[in-house]
Structure 1
Amino acid sequence: MPHSDDLLWGAVSGISRFAALLTMAELGVADQLADGPLDTEELAERCGAHAPSLRRVLRELASMGVVRRAGADGFDLTDAGAVLRSDVPGSIRSSIRMLGEDGFWYAMGRLPDTVRTGSSAFVAKYGQLYEYLATNPDSARIFDAYMTARAIPLTEGLVKRYDFAGVGTLVDVAGGRGHILATVLHAHPDMRGILYDLDHVADGARKLLAAEGLADRAEAVAGDFFASVPAGADAYLLASVIHNWDDGDAVRILRNVRHAMNPGGRVLVLEVALPDDDAPHLGKDLDLRMLAIFDGALERSREEYATLFQQADLELVEVIELGAGASLLEARPV
């Protein structure tokens, strides 16, 4: 077992390694190395970087195994580093850029202040996340790319592992641009879909659904899920929605869904369900980000979700692991 000092210093060193990855992602280093190795001077010119500074970052990246030396002063991309290319399936470039974005970086750096007060230092400085993104279009574009990339493995797991038999109409509550709904509808040609989100979001979803050839089977409806959701559907999907809200607001949303669904309907909550032990888990990392960026948002365990469902007159009936740390929690009316 590693010495405790080694574990702690490994975590401390992680910020330098992340900063190196962030530099690689921001400068597009992986894209420039996609066709083969380059000398540092040429790579710096292509990336718009200061060559001596870039050389020092590349040395750190080489120690991490994402690039390797090639010749006297050149570097090549490794298989591990290829996932930072912007043009490959499963790219994590947008994820790294989002975590290094100014507001997010500030939020994590000010986590001690958040823990002291119980209120997000990010919210105190910038306001609510979506207000912040609305006034920072560059950050919003990075965030959208991050959310799209993050949704891909979850959506693939959803369509492969969940049985949608009996679902004639699916409502994607707070479905964003519609990537998840489109993927589910493509996998189930007899299903109809409704994307429900705020007005300015629904406009973008209509365009995506039309571009996906789904305009005759799907519609985007604008509204506020704290007031109501579209009635009469067989299933309601809430993907990465409930974790944004404290228990009181989460129950309000779930109750509105419960009141709107068809008899025998179901609620499908796609979230990261925390384990009950102290084993490492992606959800524990995500929970600290939620703590830093939002007031009241949190990741929950299966038991905590079961309690929310119970308060909304629903019962947790199944939990399906989707991969990438996420789970699908299915609940039905009591």
Structure 2
Amino acid sequence: MTDPASPIWDTLRSSWRASAMRTMAELRVADHLADGPLTVTELATRCEAHAPSLGRLMRAMASVGLVETVGEDRYALTGTGALLRSDLPSSLRTSVLFNTDPTLAIALAGLTSTVRTGRSHWVETKGVLYDYMAGDPELLALFNEYMTVRAVPMAAGVAEQYDFAEVRTLVDVGGGRGHLTAAILRANPEMRATLFELAQVLPAAQAAFESWGLADRCEFVAGDFFASVPAGADAYLLGSVVHNWDDNDALRVLGTVRVAVPQHGRVLLVEMVLPDDDEPHFGKDLDIRMLSIFGQGRERSRSEYTVLLEKAGLELTRVIPIPFNASVVEARPV
């Protein structure tokens, strides 16, 4: 029989493991093991670490499959552990460092206050996350790399699994540097796009599109999606945008999009869609992080998206799963 206490202890253990994994990333253990196995003593020299303490860390990381024991006090990197190497395009090292950053841990520590008051303890004490990161270049760099790591597999999933055959013009609303749009344009050579973003974001986006050889197929327009978005496109893409806002502000964004989209058009949300039942889902855990840091930002279930879209004059027509526990939510004008 399953021990009823196991879920509690497993949850507690996950925080200890996350701290150990962060230390492994900070010490660049995966980088040092990239060329082959090392003894703890050899590894400690390269990491500038205390060998006995490092040995205990390696024992713990071996138990979760990031390294494996290949001799007495000798460890080799596993395929999973290799994802913490800093020199690989698929590296998750910055994702680990950002999501375990001690500064952001303050937000989770204040979760009780957030739940009691309905106001993010982080926002109340530190301000809006994006404003805070503007004053912390190192944290901002980690965040940007983390978002890129998330965006690439999601972008590939959208481009590969959604049928854009009838879409000739696309507006990417709040698209950041445009990873989603770039992937879609590569997969659909007849399509043209508009990247709609804040003015301060567009220079980096334009530079990225030029480096990708896609600048001639994309127009860059500055603006505020709470006010208006470019009108008349076949499709409007909002990638990880709606989840940043409470229902009232999400409706404001969707309202400006509804005004712009023609009757034959469609609106595509790229978001995590939570199960309506008790089934575990990555997005349910992420939603706690959203609650603690943003307060009003949230992940939503299919039924919640259905209601939200209906209020905006849109009908949810399909939900298509893509990588990273996300989905394409397709909606059409009513």
State the TM-score, normalizing by the size of structure 2.
0.96
> Which range moves more in the overlay, 70-79 or 19-28?
70-79
| Letter aligned with residue 17 of structure 2 | R
Q: Within 5 Å, give how 1:296-311 maps onto structure 2.
A: 296-311=296-311
* Corresponding residue of 1:33: 33
* Corresponding residue of 1:262: 262
Q: Within 5 Å, give how 1:287-302 maps onto structure 2.
A: 287-302=287-302
* Corresponding residue of 1:206: 206
* Corresponding residue of 2:151: 151
Q: How far 1:88 moved relative to its partner?
A: 3.4
| 2:108 is the counterpart of 1:108 | yes
Separation in structure 1 between the aligned mates of residue 14 and residue 214 of structure 2, nearest angstrom = 44
Separation in structure 1 between the aligned mates of residue 330 and residue 245 of structure 2, nearest angstrom = 19
* Corresponding residue of 2:10: 10
Q: How far 1:146 moved relative to its partner?
A: 0.8
Q: How far 1:198 moved relative to its partner?
A: 1.1
Q: How far 1:79 moved relative to its partner?
A: 2.1
* Corresponding residue of 1:20: 20
CA contact (8 A) 2:114 2:295 kept: no
| Letter aligned with residue 125 of structure 1 | T
1:241-294 per-position Cα deviation (integer Å, ceiling 9, x unaligned):
000001011011011011112331110001001101111111101110110110
Question: What is the percent sequence identity of the aligned residues?
Answer: 53
* Corresponding residue of 1:327: 327
Q: How far 1:54 moved relative to its partner?
A: 2.0
Separation in structure 1 between the aligned mates of residue 40 and residue 29 of structure 2, nearest angstrom = 11
In structure 2, the residue corresponding to 1:250 is in which secondary structure?
helix
Q: How far 1:89 moved relative to its partner?
A: 4.8
> Which range moves more in the overlay, 50-59 or 175-184?
50-59
Q: How far 1:325 moved relative to its partner?
A: 1.2
CA contact (8 A) 2:108 2:289 kept: yes
* Corresponding residue of 2:284: 284
Provide the aligned C-alpha RMSD in A. 1.4
Stretches of structure 2 lacking an aligned partner (at least 5 in a row)? none
CA contact (8 A) 1:37 1:77 kept: yes
> Which range moves more in the overlay, 103-112 or 171-180?
103-112
* Corresponding residue of 1:196: 196
Separation in structure 2 between the aligned mates of residue 194 and residue 41 of structure 1, nearest angstrom = 55
In structure 2, the residue corresponding to 1:149 is in which secondary structure?
helix
* Corresponding residue of 1:99: 99
| Letter aligned with residue 24 of structure 2 | M
Separation in structure 2 between the aligned mates of residue 181 and residue 216 of structure 1, nearest angstrom = 13
State the TM-score, normalizing by the size of structure 1.
0.96
Q: How far 1:2 moved relative to its partner?
A: 2.1
* Corresponding residue of 2:165: 165
* Corresponding residue of 1:68: 68
| 2:52 is the counterpart of 1:55 | no
